[in-house]
Structure 1
Amino acid sequence: MQKTAPIPYAHLPRAHHNRHVLTSTVDAFGAAHWLLGERAPQPGGDMPLFDALVVSVHPDGSVELTELSAVRARWPHLDRLPDGGFVVAASRARRDGDSPQVQVFDALGRETSSFSVGDAIEHLLVDEAGQFWVGHFDENPAGIRRWSATGRLAWTSDSARIPGLFDCYALNVSGTAAWACPYTDFPLVEIRPDRPERPVRVWANGVRGARAVAVHGERVAFYGGYGEERDRLAHGVLTETSVEPTDISLLTLPDGPASGRRRVVGRGSRIYVQAEPFTAWGVFDLST
């Protein structure tokens, strides 16, 4: 099988390797961010508030540090807002419902608002307009939603007629649009809420289990799969109604095959990927 190597993209500066990586992402403008804590979260019980450090590495290589005060999320998602602030969300909502799930911080690291978006967050990605998309896994039937940074529900998949939307396996947010590949039917879905005449398009797709998707014009690539296919890169082209497969390759990580977990972010034509210990991002770009 042909092998494709991602291009090294961003590294957590070594000076911060003594902290625990709680999560990491790449934002809509190409900056990589790491949310760091003093220790790894512990399962069970109430999570005490803690201060965290966001280390941001911009496309030009410059590094920015932001201290966030009184973070609540044990297993957090992170992304940056266009105004320099951050969104931090707990993947699981508390059963008592008393603790808002999402915290919005300004550029100085101060909490400005908090609210809940529903349990079982699989993906959280902020778009260029400052709204954020949430894809849920199968313990929440909400599917895919778009929220404002003040907690207003801006779009929902409830009436979108997306076949087999039980778990948002893959989500790609670029500009103000989103692409998804949900379990169980794994269709490729384009979502453009600003296009009222046809906000959702669906293509039938035979690639199963992909965890990330990239789209460039009529070309598409799916990364991931079940079992031994977890580093599979399946290519295809869009027809009027379906994704037609073209070829399959293996996305090899910078240090070769790794047995640990992966973290992926889809942004337009790009799939960003990192492996444990989650200190480095590589990128595959479908447009090159």
Structure 2
Amino acid sequence: SGRTPCPPSQESPPVQKSALVPYAHLPRAHHDRHVLTSTVDVFGVAHWLLGDEAPQPGGDVLPFDALVVSVHPGGHVELTELSAVRARWPRLDRLPDGGFVLAASRARRYEDADQVQVFDALGRETSSFSVGDAVEHLLVDEAGHVWVGHFDENPAGIRRWSTTGHIYWASDGASIPGLFDCYALNVSGTTAWACTYTDFPLVEIRPDRPVKVWTNRVRGAKAVAVHGERVAFYGGYGEEVDRLTHGELTETSVEPTAVGLLTLPDGRLPGRRRIVGRGSRIYVQTQPFTAWCVFDLSS
């Protein structure tokens, strides 16, 4: 007919979606309490810190008693009452001896001296100290040391503390490029992985050897998972908040291999969330913050 044939359709390939897998649930008997914070520890146990009411902005915080509900991978539930908690918006993690460490994310002027509280397995405070303002991440390792990553209102970056306030490692002088904000922190065993603003390198921190740094083109990730030479970054800026980027480690850089979305088990996008990185796993919790789901790079 002499007509020019139509070019083949250039439709973009469908976005690859990865669904989170249900991991742990707060028992229904405790749903009447307010979830102050929640985390998953280095051994895979999920913890909820519960109070009688939601924290209110402004005003003084009177010490209050709180309940930690711990749900083990097999489903066993433990309850620990913490006495005289002082943090309005706390970060929480469990210590290997069964105690807990709790930190206020913001250090207010009169509370700097005891911003971090350490509790024994019976819920009694045993020590307190300050790590400084702007706590973004608080993660305990298998040795019982406390890794703290700060957001940009505190230039301290990343530090590893003892439970009595001694600094075992600090990012000062560690040659991490452009460390103004610890966007992502993953603690597994006694190793930490981080992704930091402004350059977003992938950083491996082992207490007994020099820091390793890989350049990375993925911007704005809020969590990282690592398994052997494979890595995954979760999150990003703006519309990329649900992005899941897979990559491979070379000698000096992270090379992206695939980009998709991380969804809830039912396929919905998460909305407001908490995220914890532990080795090959990224744990995600969404409102009403009574359940944890998991993405595992090793599976």
After superposition, where does 1:152-191 map in structure 2 within 5 Å? Answer: 152-191=166-205
Q: What residue number does 1:63 align with?
A: 77
> 1:47-70 CA distances to partner (integer Å, 9 max, x unpaired)?
111100000000111000000000
Q: 2:77 & 2:65 partners in 1: Cα distance?
A: 19
Q: 1:255 & 1:55 partners in 2: Cα distance?
A: 26
Say if 1:207 and 1:98 are closer, same or farther in 2 by CA, change over 3 A: closer
User: 2:160 aligned with 1:146, yes or no?
Assistant: yes
Contact 2:263 2:270 survives alignment (8 Å): no
Contact 2:262 2:269 survives alignment (8 Å): no
Q: 1:91 & 1:52 partners in 2: Cα distance?
A: 17
Match of 1:241 among 245, 252, 256: 252
Match of 1:15 among 23, 26, 29: 29
Q: 2:268 & 2:166 partners in 1: Cα distance?
A: 42
Q: In the TM superposition, what is the alpha-carbon distance from 1:257 to its structure 2 partner?
A: 2.7
Corresponding residue SS for 1:96: helix
Number of aligned residue pairs: give it.
285
Q: In the TM superposition, what is the alpha-carbon distance from 1:97 to its structure 2 partner?
A: 4.7
Q: In the TM superposition, what is the alpha-carbon distance from 1:88 to its structure 2 partner?
A: 0.5
Q: In the TM superposition, what is the alpha-carbon distance from 1:121 to its structure 2 partner?
A: 0.2
> 1:73-105 CA distances to partner (integer Å, 9 max, x unpaired)?
000000000000000100011123554100000
Q: In the TM superposition, what is the alpha-carbon distance from 1:167 to its structure 2 partner?
A: 0.4
Q: What residue number does 1:251 align with?
A: 262
User: 2:40 aligned with 1:40, yes or no?
Assistant: no
Contact 2:97 2:121 survives alignment (8 Å): yes
Q: In the TM superposition, what is the alpha-carbon distance from 1:227 to its structure 2 partner?
A: 1.4
Q: 2:41 & 2:164 partners in 1: Cα distance?
A: 19
> 1:15-39 CA distances to partner (integer Å, 9 max, x unpaired)?
1111111000000000000000001
Q: Which runs of 5+ in 1 are unaligned?
A: none
Where do 4+ consecutive residues of structure 1 move more than 2 Å? Answer: 96-99, 254-260
Say if 1:12 and 1:97 are closer, same or farther in 2 by CA, change over 3 A: closer
RMSD over aligned CA atoms reads 1.0
Q: 1:284 & 1:131 partners in 2: Cα distance?
A: 25
Q: 1:203 & 1:78 partners in 2: Cα distance?
A: 30
Q: 1:228 & 1:18 partners in 2: Cα distance?
A: 34
Q: In the TM superposition, what is the alpha-carbon distance from 1:151 to its structure 2 partner?
A: 1.0
Q: What residue number does 2:223 align with?
A: 212
Contact 2:82 2:124 survives alignment (8 Å): yes
What one-letter code is carried by the residue in structure 2 that aligns with 1:253?
Answer: L
User: 2:97 aligned with 1:94, yes or no?
Assistant: no
Corresponding residue SS for 2:251: coil
> 1:154-180 CA distances to partner (integer Å, 9 max, x unpaired)?
100001010110000000000001000
Corresponding residue SS for 1:15: helix
Q: Which runs of 5+ in 2 are unaligned?
A: 1-14
Q: What residue number does 2:123 align with?
A: 109
User: 2:70 aligned with 1:72, yes or no?
Assistant: no
- Same amino acid, percent of matched pairs: 82
User: 2:76 aligned with 1:54, yes or no?
Assistant: no
What one-letter code is carried by the residue in structure 2 that aligns with 1:66?
Answer: T
Question: TM-score normalized by structure 1?
Answer: 0.97
Match of 1:260 among 256, 265, 271: 271
What one-letter code is carried by the residue in structure 2 that aligns with 1:142?
Answer: A
Contact 1:258 1:275 survives alignment (8 Å): no
Contact 1:221 1:234 survives alignment (8 Å): yes
Q: 1:150 & 1:74 partners in 2: Cα distance?
A: 22
Query: Is the radius of gyration larger for structure 1 or structure 2?
Result: 2
User: 2:151 aligned with 1:132, yes or no?
Assistant: no
Say if 1:242 and 1:275 are closer, same or farther in 2 by CA, change over 3 A: same
Q: In the TM superposition, what is the alpha-carbon distance from 1:259 to its structure 2 partner?
A: 6.3
Q: 2:182 & 2:251 partners in 1: Cα distance?
A: 23
What one-letter code is carried by the residue in structure 2 that aligns with 1:5?
Answer: A
> 1:126-165 CA distances to partner (integer Å, 9 max, x unpaired)?
0000001000000000000000011111100001010110
